[in-house]
Structure 1
Amino acid sequence: MNKATRRNTDLDELFAAIAREKLGIETLETRRSDSLDFHDVAVWSVRAALDAALRAGFAAAKGGKR
């Protein structure tokens, strides 16, 4: 696996973890079903998810763990 592929995989895993933990979304994979692919989430959950992504970016930029 090359560096770019590994980076994309790491990001996909990070995004999936944030979606699970902050938004209660089981997976970010397309499942071709409206009831599975569209979610009602509270704005405070969206804010928490964005905050988690931002903090992960800061940590990565500092060379720390995501």
Structure 2
Amino acid sequence: MQTRDEALAKIAATILDLETLATRNSDRLDFHELSVWGIKAALEAAYAAGQEAK
């Protein structure tokens, strides 16, 4: 079973194409332009992961 942080990192990587969710103290690395449909897909995946964890 994945931890919450592992599940979020996987969603961020696969859906949002983010290398990491860690703060790197660089605007270029910490801020990203994301489409609303990508954000929606990530939120749906996070919701589904939460439902499966119950």
Aligning the two structures, in what range does the TM-score lie when normalised by the shorter sequence?
over 0.9
* Counterpart mapping for 1:1-66 below 5 A: 10-61=3-54
The offset of 1:13, in angstroms, is 0.8
- Residue deviations 1:28-60, cap 9 Å, x none? 011000000000000000000000000011111
Where does structure 1 differ by over 2 angstroms across 4 or more consecutive aligned residues?
A: none
Structure 2 unmatched ranges of 5 or more: none
Gap regions ≥5 residues in structure 1? 1-8, 62-66
How many equivalent residue pairs? 53
Q: Greater Rg, structure 1 or structure 2?
A: 1
Root-mean-square deviation (CA), in Å? Answer: 1.2
- Given residue 56 of structure 1, which amino acid in structure 2 is its aligned partner? A
Task: Name the TM-score, length of structure 2 as normaliser.
Answer: 0.92
Instruction: State the identity %.
Output: 51
